[in-house]
Every structure is written in structure tokens, then in C-alpha cells.
Amino acid sequence: MGSLTRLIVFLSIFAAITLKANSQYLLPIIKDEPTNLFFTTLSIGSLATESPVNLLLDLESNLTLVNYDYNVSVFIDSIVSCHSSTCESIPGHGWDDGDPYCSCVYRLSSLLGQNASIEAYVIQDTVSISTTDGGKLLSEVSINPLTISDYRGEEFITYLPPLVSGILSLSPVSSSFIKQVISFYGVSPKFSLCLPSSGAGHFYIAADNYFIPPFNSSVSPMTLSPLKAINSESYLLDVRSIYVDGTPLSLSPNLLEGGAKLSTMVPYTLLHTDIYNALAQSFTLKAK
């Protein structure tokens, strides 16, 4: 039987935040085998209308995007005004010139590496997650209001795996799900993704304790790769050199200056053409 492997990604979002609590939170991570993408499950809505939704984990999107069947009156009451500071703080925000209510909208031009034209209404709703001791789920807590966006059309769903109905934003911007949770609870600005090769993984928020089974003596050492920077859009690793069988690639230094962007939405590594050519040539020579 093959062993279960996991990739654990620890991300700290440095921000000027006053810690008000030492709580930690846990969400499940499930791998969609056909696409090699990862999603989590959380509940949207108040107690009377609460419903679980599966959302892809995305380290780059600026706002959580769902396809959720809201009651029309509830939906209208939840829409954010285009004149509000909440709307203006969202990268990619806008409004429909023909809308007399000036509803705030969130626009996407690409999704999962494909060109897209998606315009979703920005709304505020209640979202529920669970506290944890680092191993098991404890009690359910709610974030209200949490700013998200809702696309009420079928086109959006065609881009997503069958079990998934939206995208969970984990980017460094203030409108992302992770930044809103950290700000709402005043907890430590960090989160961790334990991505499974199969089965279930763990998505920790503000955690200091990590109890991830199986518990045995065969513990592999952890490799640390510090982030180069956290800018307004993405998380970057500081790549200084690339080796093939112990031999460094001969590359122009400026090719590595920008760093390597972490992504959970593309299940493969993207390379600059010059880096790819040098890598392919080196592999070919080593294989002879």
C-alpha cells in the first residue's frame, strides 16, 4: 500500500493587528482527484438558512466567490453599495452603470487559467467555521458580516469541478476570506494548508498546535522555504538557483529576481521559457 504524503504550507500575513484572542480554527481540505485541485467546506448563511458549500482554495483571488441560491429578498438586502468603503477596498470592484441601486460588483477576467468574463454581486453574509485544539473540531463560530461575492449564473459553474460551487480567497488583500477572519477575531495573522496526496487534509487558521495523524515514529524532517515577499497580490518564494542532479542551471540572474509564485489553482509548475529550455536541456544531457 502506498504511503500518504502531505505538503504543508505555512503562511504568515504580517500586518498591523492587535491580537484580541488566541483561538485557532480548522477547516477540512479535500483533494479533487480528476483536477488535482483542493477545496474546503464551510457554512454560509444564518442559523435558519445555513448551508454547507464547497470552495476551491485560491491563494490569489481577492474576494471569495460563490454560486449560491439565495432567497431573492435576502440577497437584495445583503448587497453592498458601490459608494461604500467596503466596495472600494476590493481590487477588481466596479458597478453596473444601469443599476439604479448602484450595487457593488466584483469582476474576474480569468479563472483556472482560462479567460473568463464573470461579474458577481458583492454581498455580506454570515459564514461559520470551527475552533480547534489543533487536532479535532471543537465548537462552531460565526463571522458576521463577511464580505463575499455571489455569481447567479451557470457559466461560472462550468469552470469548476463538479463538487465545487465557488472559490475561497486566501490572498494577502484585506478583502480576502483569510484576512477578514483574522481581522474579525483579532487572532495571529497566519494560516497553514496541509495538502493531502489523497484523502483529507487540514486548513488551520491562527494555529499554534498541529496534531495530524498518523502518529508514529517515522517522522520526516521538514524543509523550510521562506517567503520572498508578500505583496498585494501573491505569495512569493525566493528562488536563488535551480539544480539538476547536483549541477546548477546556467541562468541569467534577473530571471529569478521575481521569485516563484505559490498557487493552489494550477496543479503544475509554470516556468519562464528561458528557464524551461535550460531545464529541459540539462535533463536531456543527464539522461544520456
Does the pLDDT at position 1 exceed 60? Answer: no
- From CA 281, how far away is CA 94, in angstroms rounded? 46
pLDDT at 153 over 60: yes
pLDDT in the model for residue 283: 86
Give the per-residue pLDDT at 78: 86
Q: What is the mean pLDDT of the chain?
A: 82
pLDDT in tens, 66-119: 987 766 666 778 889 998 999 999 998 888 777 777 899 998 877 777 777 888
Which residue's entry shows cell 471569495? Answer: 64
- pLDDT > 70: percent of the chain: 84
**Is the pLDDT score of 218 beyond 70?**
no
Whether residue 15 is predicted with pLDDT greater than 80 in this model: the reply is no
- What residue spans define the domains of the chain? 7-14+22-205, 227-287
pTM: 0.84
Asked if residue 6 has pLDDT above 70, the reply is no
| Per-residue confidence (pLDDT) for residue 89, from 0 to 100 | 92
Rounded-to-integer distance, Cα 89 and Cα 262, Å: 24
Residue with cell 476590493: 90
The pLDDT, as a whole number, for residue 73 is 65
CATH topology of domain 7-14+22-205: Cathepsin D, subunit A; domain 1 (2.40.70)
**164 has pLDDT over 90:** yes
Mean pLDDT over 163-182 rounds to 93
- Predicted confidence at residue 64, as pLDDT, reads 95
pLDDT at 202 over 80: yes
pLDDT score recorded for residue 286? 82
In three-state form (DSSP H/G/I as H, E/B as E, the rest C), the secondary structure along the chain is CCCCCEEEEEEECCCCCCCCCCCCEEEEEEEECCCCEEEEEEEECCCCCCEEEEEEEECCCCCCEECCCCCHHHHHHHECECCCHHHHCCCCEEECCCCCCCEEEEEEEEECCEEEEEEEEEEEEEEEEEEECCCCEEEEEEEEEEEEEECCCCCHHHHCCCCCCEEEECCCCCCCHHHHHHHHHCCCCEEEEEEECCCEEEEEECCCCCCCCCCCCCCCCCCCCCEEEECCCCEEECCCCCEECCEECCCCHHHCCCCEECCCCCCCCCCCHHHHHHHHHHHHHHHC
Tens digit of each residue's pLDDT (9 = 90 or more) over 225-272:
778 766 667 888 888 888 888 888 888 878 888 788 888 888 777 778
